[in-house]
């Protein structure tokens, strides 16, 4: 009975491994044992080497191993730094724009998003040390945005510069582009030019003009979007002068071959002169909007030396407008005679100020050739105070008088502010404008005061304002006449 019970139980019999399986297991055990032995030996050798071998020999072996590992690797990495010398690296800028519209991929985990009041869309960029994977013509590429901390200038260690843009000045920023080294030619000759082309298209589509200022001997990274609405169509400027200026700008834009043929730098200088309120700033805005050039506003009072001027020029990109306002009073430029008389001073003493020679070299010397398609604009209220060397062709090619209001300017202002071209008071006001000196800003101010009362009230108010100026002018002439008689 017990035998039957035993026989009735289900028994599991473990089959013995085959000879082949047993052999594989034995080899695996031997391999693991060997690996463990090698690892232990390596640790022992490393420990002994650290105690016995000099540090120089240790570094040599480590660098050798590093070279071997690099040789064995199939990856190639291209480093794209933010600056190329003193100038912005165009490849870095293009990559920044390109990746900004491509970083919505699922592979990206951290993005930086921002928007100013004047921007229409969000600006999206990679966060620090973030990666992005791209595919172009079946080539897999990995982008990495690297930010390396450096010692910040003293000006940014005062505790008041905690914002992100200020921290950029204490960082070295670069992109690392990694891919299989067999695609090197494709990346350098096709992919990167493709990114440059895409970036230019993004710029044109955004149609954004920026205003840059100088901060701590460099163009400030925290630039401002320039949203001035002035165009040549709405600019209150003498009609004939406006036509000549637009034609000159268009000829400049299309003049690359011409400038190369005559052997001159592709740049153009303009001097805007006239009393305050005559529209010099509005004209600069219209020029920037017409050319789609960024504006670089240079305040000479913040520049310490001629060498700083050269650095700023080299860091300013092509297709830009450099503006130096109130050149006659922003700084006291040492004239050439004074410079010659001070040659006995030390080199350091003479270089810690901006001189006329330094400014001339800045706008028309050898350093000015490091770039192309640039506009340089000087403004002044007193042209007669400027050194003749600043005014010659090649430095200031076109002198634009910004004078008091005339008939052409008045008609443009009336159309801009009131939307009319005909009115029974216009002829009377035009006669008054020819008799008194009134700036376009004054006329615009009077038209704006009464814009809610309609054209009649606005023009009546302007007529009274001009009549008062005429009466004041007559009184002033009469007083001068009596003073002259009394002096006799």
Highest mean pLDDT out of 4-13, 61-70, 138-147:
138-147
Residue 45 falls inside a structural domain? no
More confident position, 476 or 136: 136
Percent of the chain with pLDDT over 90: 35
- Is pLDDT above 80 for 103? no
State the average pLDDT for the chain. 79
When pLDDT is cut at 50, 70 and 90, the band that residue 2 belongs to is very low
Q: Minimum mean pLDDT among 114-128, 286-300, 373-387, 441-455: which range? A: 114-128
Residue 22 falls inside a structural domain? no
One domain for residues 396 and 427: no
pTM, full prediction: 0.70
- Is pLDDT above 60 for 488? yes
One domain for residues 303 and 427: no
- Is pLDDT above 50 for 163? no
So what's the pLDDT on residue 390? 86
CATH number at residue 321: 3.40.50.300
Which of 174, 207, 240 is the last residue before a domain boundary?
207
Q: How far apart are CA 119 and CA 108, in angstroms?
A: 24
Alpha carbon separation from 248 to 152, 259, 292, 318, 375 (Å, rounded): 45, 14, 16, 18, 12
Residue 454 falls inside a structural domain? yes
- Is pLDDT above 90 for 114? no
Q: Minimum mean pLDDT among 100-104, 201-205, 392-396: which range? A: 100-104
Q: What range does the domain containing 267 cover?
A: 224-401
One domain for residues 378 and 420: no
So what's the pLDDT on residue 5? 46
Residue 369 falls inside a structural domain? yes
So what's the pLDDT on residue 166? 44
Please give the angle made by the CA atoms of 431, 432 and 434, to the nearest 5 degrees: 70
Residue 389 falls inside a structural domain? yes
pLDDT in tens, 3-19: 444 444 444 445 555 66
Average of per-residue pLDDT across 317-324: 90
- Is pLDDT above 70 for 402? yes
One domain for residues 381 and 253: yes
DSSP string, 373-402: SEEEEEEES-GGGS-HHHHSTTTS-EEEE-
One domain for residues 393 and 423: no
pLDDT in tens, 264-280: 889 999 999 999 999 99
One domain for residues 191 and 232: no
One domain for residues 414 and 390: no
Q: How far apart are CA 419 and CA 379, in angstroms?
A: 30
* Total count of domains within the chain: 3
What residues contact residue 432 under an 8 Å CB cut-off, 6+ apart? 463, 466, 467, 470
So what's the pLDDT on residue 349? 46
pLDDT in tens, 171-201: 788 999 999 999 999 999 999 999 999 988 8
So what's the pLDDT on residue 324? 92
Q: Which long-range contacts (CB under 8 A, 24 or more apart) does 115-123 make?
A: 116/225, 118/225, 118/227, 119/208, 119/225
One domain for residues 418 and 397: no
One domain for residues 390 and 431: no
When pLDDT is cut at 50, 70 and 90, the band that residue 357 belongs to is confident
So what's the pLDDT on residue 73? 66
When pLDDT is cut at 50, 70 and 90, the band that residue 226 belongs to is confident
Q: How far apart are CA 248 and CA 242, in angstroms?
A: 10
So what's the pLDDT on residue 43? 64
One domain for residues 367 and 427: no
Which of 164, 182, 207 is the last residue before a domain boundary?
207
So what's the pLDDT on residue 311? 81
Highest mean pLDDT out of 61-65, 145-149, 395-399:
395-399
- Is pLDDT above 80 for 294? yes
Residue 349 falls inside a structural domain? yes
Token readout for 286 is 């219209």
One domain for residues 321 and 449: no
Contact between 139 and 76 under an 8 Å Cβ cutoff? The reply is no
Contact between 387 and 333 under an 8 Å Cβ cutoff? The reply is yes
CA-wise closest residue to 447 among 459, 429, 435, 433: 459
pLDDT in tens, 376-401: 999 999 998 888 888 888 788 999 99
One domain for residues 293 and 243: yes
Residue 307 falls inside a structural domain? yes
More confident position, 91 or 120: 91
Contact between 447 and 462 under an 8 Å Cβ cutoff? The reply is yes
């Amino acid at each position: 009975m017990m035998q039957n019970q035993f026989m009735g139980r289900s028994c599991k019999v473990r089959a013995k491994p085959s000879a082949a399986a047993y052999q594989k297991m034995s080899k695996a055990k031997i391999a693991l044992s060997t690996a463990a032995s090698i690892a232990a030996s390596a640790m022992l050798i490393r420990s002994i080497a650290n105690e016995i071998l000099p540090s120089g020999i240790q570094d040599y072996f480590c660098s050798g191993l590093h070279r071997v590992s690099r040789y064995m690797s199939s990856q190639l990495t291209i480093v794209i730094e933010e600056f190329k010398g003193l100038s912005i690296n165009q490849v870095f800028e293009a990559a920044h724009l390109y990746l900004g519209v491509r970083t919505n991929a699922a592979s990206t985990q951290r993005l930086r998003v921002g928007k100013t009041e004047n921007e229409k869309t969000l600006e999206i960029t990679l966060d620090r040390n973030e990666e992005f994977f791209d595919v172009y013509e079946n080539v897999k590429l990995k982008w990495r945005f690297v930010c390396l901390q450096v010692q910040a200038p003293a000006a940014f260690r005062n505790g008041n510069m905690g914002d992100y843009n200020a921290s950029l000045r204490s960082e070295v920023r670069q992109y690392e582009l990694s891919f299989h080294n067999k695609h090197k030619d494709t990346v350098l000759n096709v992919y990167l030019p493709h990114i440059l082309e895409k970036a230019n298209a993004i710029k044109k589509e955004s149609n954004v003009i920026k205003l840059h200022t100088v901060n701590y001997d460099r163009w400030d990274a925290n630039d401002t979007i320039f949203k001035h609405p002035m165009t040549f169509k709405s600019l209150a400027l003498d009609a004939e002068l406006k036509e000549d200026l637009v034609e000159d700008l268009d000829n400049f834009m299309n003049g690359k071959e011409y400038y190369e043929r005559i052997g001159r730098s592709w740049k153009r200088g303009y001097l805007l002169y006239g009393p305050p309120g005559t529209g010099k700033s509005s004209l600069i805005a219209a020029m920037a909007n017409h050319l789609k050039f960024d504006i670089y506003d240079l305040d000479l009072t913040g520049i310490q030396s001629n060498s700083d001027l050269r650095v700023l020029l080299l860091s300013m990109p092509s297709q830009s407008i450099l503006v130096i306002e109130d050149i006659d009073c922003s700084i006291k430029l040492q004239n050439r005679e004074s410079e010659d008389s001070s040659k006995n001073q030390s080199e350091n003493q003479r270089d810690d100020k901006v001189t006329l020679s330094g400014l001339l070299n800045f706008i028309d010397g050898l350093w000015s050739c490091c770039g192309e398609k640039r506009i340089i604009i000087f403004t002044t209220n007193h042209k007669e105070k400027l050194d003749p060397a600043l005014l010659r062709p090649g430095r200031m090619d076109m002198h634009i008088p910004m004078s008091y209001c005339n008939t052409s300017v008045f008609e443009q202002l009336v159309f801009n502010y009131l939307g009319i071209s005909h009115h029974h008071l216009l002829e009377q006001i035009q006669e008054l404008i020819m008799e008194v000196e009134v700036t376009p800003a004054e006329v615009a101010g009077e038209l704006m005061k009464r814009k809610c009362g309609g054209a009649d009230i606005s023009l009546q108010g302007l007529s009274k304002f001009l009549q008062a100026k005429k009466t004041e002018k007559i009184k002033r002439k009469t007083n001068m006449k009596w003073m002259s008689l009394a002096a006799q």
